[in-house]
């Protein structure tokens, strides 16, 4: 009988919270903005922003508060300025442990690699981290209209790689990202606690704990 087992041809990595802890920089930047504007903000609210676009993050933070479009745009810009300031010295030392080893290992197996991030600052971050050359495609917040949990950013990455979604593995730390990857019809590896990434096909508490044999066996 012919071997009908699907084959892994590509890995698509989320950025913030998977390859590096920029989630903390996002948190600090929103906090600065909220303090300035007198809007309540804490880590519990911040959890809802994981993997969510900048615009939708501000909508969540504002809740029922009404601000006019100019003010809204100004707040987004201000937050982004705080964020860009905080990542200006980002370097290899900010990679989560084990990340380069994983990227090397996948490359050596002939697996195609892409980035699939909601961030519009993704290029800047991976340049700082010194890992840009590992990725054939960088799909980010500028690549698509609809942000996670819509599947668009992952479908865009797969299409550009020339790989069918069913042959792709996505590595994600956010509930919105896991949902997006599932909606794209891809195999999902969750990074983080059960309550956040429990819907993924397989999950690990941190990226350094990922076991490829298990992923290959479950794919």
**Strand 10-13 relative to strand 112-116, pairing:** parallel
| 53 vs 200, beta carbon nearer ligand B16 | 53
Nearest CA-CA partner of 118 in 91, 150, 141, 145: 141
Give yes or no for residue 153 binding Mg ion (CB under 5 A): no
CA distance 60 to 92: 32
14 is an active site residue: yes
Does position 57 interact with ligand B16 (CB under 6 A)? The reply is yes
Minimum gap (Å) between residue 16 Cβ and ligand B16? 3
Q: Which is nearer to ligand B16, 147 or 161 (CB)?
A: 147
**Lookup result for tokens 């601000």:** 67
**φ, ψ (nearest 5 deg) of residue 12:** -115, 120
Neighbouring-strand partners of residue 137: 114
Q: Does 120 bind ligand B16 (CB under 6 A)?
A: yes
Contact indicator for 166, 179 with CB cutoff of 8 Å: no
Please confirm, yes or no, whether 152 is among the known catalytic residues. Answer: no
CB-based contacts of 102, cutoff 8 Å, min separation 6? 207, 210
- Considering only residues 12 through 41, tell me which ones interact with Mg ion, judged by CB under 5 A: 14, 16-17
Give 100-115 as a 3 state SS string. Answer: HHHHHHHHHCCCEEEE
Among 94, 140, 152, 173, binds Mg ion (CB under 5 A): 173
The token duo for 101 is: 């080893």
118 binds ligand B16 (CB under 6 A): yes
Smallest distance from the beta carbon of 110 to ligand B16, in angstroms?
25
Collapsing DSSP states into helix, strand and coil, what is residue 175? Answer: helix
Find the binding residues for ligand B16 in span 145-174 (CB under 6 A). 174
In the complex, the smallest distance separating the C-beta of residue 108 from ligand B16, rounded to whole angstroms, is 25
Given 3, 14, 64, 152, the catalytic residue: 14
Told to check if 20 binds ligand B16 by CB under 6 A, we report: no
Catalytic site positions:
14, 16
Q: Contact residues for Mg ion (CB under 5 A)? A: 14, 16-17, 51, 173-174
Q: Contact residues for ligand B16 (CB under 6 A)? A: 14-17, 23, 26, 49-54, 57, 80, 117-121, 141, 174, 177
């Amino acid at each position: 009988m012919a071997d009908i087992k699907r084959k892994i041809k590509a890995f698509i990595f989320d950025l913030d919270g998977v390859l590096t802890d920029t989630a903390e920089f996002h948190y600090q930047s929103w906090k600065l903005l909220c303090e300035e504007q007198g809007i309540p903000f804490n880590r519990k609210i911040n959890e809802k922003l994981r993997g969510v676009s900048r615009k939708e993050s501000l909508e969540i933070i504002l809740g029922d508060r009404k601000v006019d479009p100019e003010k809204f745009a100004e707040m987004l810009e201000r937050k982004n300025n705080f964020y860009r300031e905080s990542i200006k010295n980002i370097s290899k030392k900010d990679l989560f442990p084990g990340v380069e080893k994983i990227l090397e290992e996948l490359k050596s197996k002939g697996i195609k690699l892409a980035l699939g991030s909601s961030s519009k600052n993704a290029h800047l971050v991976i340049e700082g981290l010194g890992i840009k050359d590992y990725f054939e495609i960088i799909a980010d917040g500028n690549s698509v209209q609809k942000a996670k949990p819509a599947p668009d950013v992952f479908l865009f990455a797969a299409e550009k790689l020339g790989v069918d979604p069913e042959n792709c593995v996505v590595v994600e730390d956010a509930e919105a990202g896991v949902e997006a990857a599932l909606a794209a019809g891809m195999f999902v590896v969750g990074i983080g606690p059960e309550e956040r990434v429990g819907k993924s096909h397989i999950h690990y508490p941190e990226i350094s704990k990922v076991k490829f044999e298990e992923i290959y066996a479950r794919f």
